[in-house]
């Protein structure tokens, strides 16, 4: 049985399958009264712009093979806040590890995924969890429904929109920039990107569930160029329940040696 700290991929899939079966039993895709974020249809002459913009976003930092960083985290939940230091590393293939430090500099918690399994270890009391899911939701840990892969993408300066294509991309242009609305299939996941007009950087992303409710939003600030890669040195992840995670990056390294064995977490490492 999976540990309660994670919501497994199988549980999420079964939940969605049941919901879809009920919906299809009563109504069609076009008639379901679900409130989604407003989508603006493009004119034919603007269709190429949405595709070009989405392609540019997908290709951002696509040559970054490995990364490491250290910084500070602040998690606000129900009028309580926690401040701590953290270190992380990841690979282009999706391997990801985070160390949370307590006082005085000792590891208080470790999270990792090695592409097949996810691990969570608390050295102080010896608790160790493992689950057969390389991309679990971190809601039970962060109180925000963001997946491990999405968090890793933001820390690498990428935007997690790889599964979307231009067939379901809609764009709105304003004086401030662009709103790029993405949808995968009739009942697929939806994301909205807010893009600066002058540098084409995504400064905010909102992720929605299949009912159109916000899962989380991410703001990317203080973007700096590190060895030719655009890295946000301040990341703010939040939801509509008032939960908020601040990530302030102090130092960052790109394309550095990262042993793949370090992602297969055990109580001894």
Residue 260 has pLDDT above 90, yes or no: yes
pLDDT value at residue 135? 92
157 burial via Cβ count (<10 Å: 0-12, 13-18, 19+) = buried
The whole-angstrom separation of Cα 146 and Cα 137 is: 6
Task: Give the residues across from 69 on adjacent strands.
Answer: 88, 252
Alpha carbon dihedral 229, 235, 240, 242, in 10-degree steps, equals 170
Question: Is domain 9-263 annotated with CATH 3.40.50.620?
Answer: no
Q: In this predicted model, what pLDDT tens digit does every residue of 213-244 receive, in sequence order?
A: 999 999 999 999 999 999 999 999 999 999 99
| More confident of the two residues 17 and 175 | 175
Q: Could you tell me the pLDDT band of residue 2, with boundaries at 50, 70 and 90?
A: very low
Domain ranges of the chain: 9-263
Contact 117, 131 (CB under 8 A): yes
The whole-angstrom separation of Cα 250 and Cα 87 is: 10
Contact 99, 123 (CB under 8 A): no
Residue 168 has pLDDT above 50, yes or no: yes
The whole-angstrom separation of Cα 223 and Cα 168 is: 28
- The segment with the largest mean pLDDT, out of 75-84, 98-107, 153-162, is 153-162
Alpha carbon dihedral 33, 210, 37, 234, in 10-degree steps, equals 160
The reported pTM is 0.80
| More confident of the two residues 211 and 61 | 61
């Amino acid at each position: 049985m999976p540990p309660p700290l994670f919501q497994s991929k199988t549980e999420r899939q079964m939940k969605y399958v049941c919901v879809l079966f009920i919906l299809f039993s009563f109504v069609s895709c076009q008639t379901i009264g679900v409130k989604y974020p407003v989508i603006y249809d493009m004119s034919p002459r603007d269709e190429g712009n949405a595709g070009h913009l989405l392609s540019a976003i997908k290709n951002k930092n696509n040559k970054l093979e490995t990364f490491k960083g250290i910084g500070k985290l602040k998690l606000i939940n129900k009028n309580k806040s926690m401040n701590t230091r953290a270190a992380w590393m990841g690979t282009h293939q999706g391997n990801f590890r985070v160390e949370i430090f307590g006082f005085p500099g000792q590891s208080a918690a470790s999270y990792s995924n090695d592409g097949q399994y996810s691990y969570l270890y608390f050295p102080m009391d010896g608790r160790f969890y493992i689950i057969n899911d390389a991309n679990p939701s971190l809601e039970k840990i962060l109180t925000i429904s963001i997946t491990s892969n999405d968090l890793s993408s933001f820390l690498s300066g990428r935007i997690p929109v790889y599964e979307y294509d231009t067939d379901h991309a809609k764009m709105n242009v304003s004086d401030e920039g662009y709103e790029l609305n993405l949808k995968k299939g009739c009942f697929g996941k939806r994301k909205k990107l807010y893009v600066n007009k002058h540098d084409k950087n995504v400064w905010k992303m909102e992720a929605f569930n299949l009912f159109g409710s916000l899962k989380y939003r991410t703001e990317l600030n203080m973007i700096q160029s590190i060895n030719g890669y655009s890295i946000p040195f301040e990341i703010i992840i939040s939801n509509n329940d008032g939960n908020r995670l601040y990530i302030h990056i102090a130092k960052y390294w790109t394309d550095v040696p990262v042993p793949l064995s370090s992602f297969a977490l055990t109580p001894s490492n």
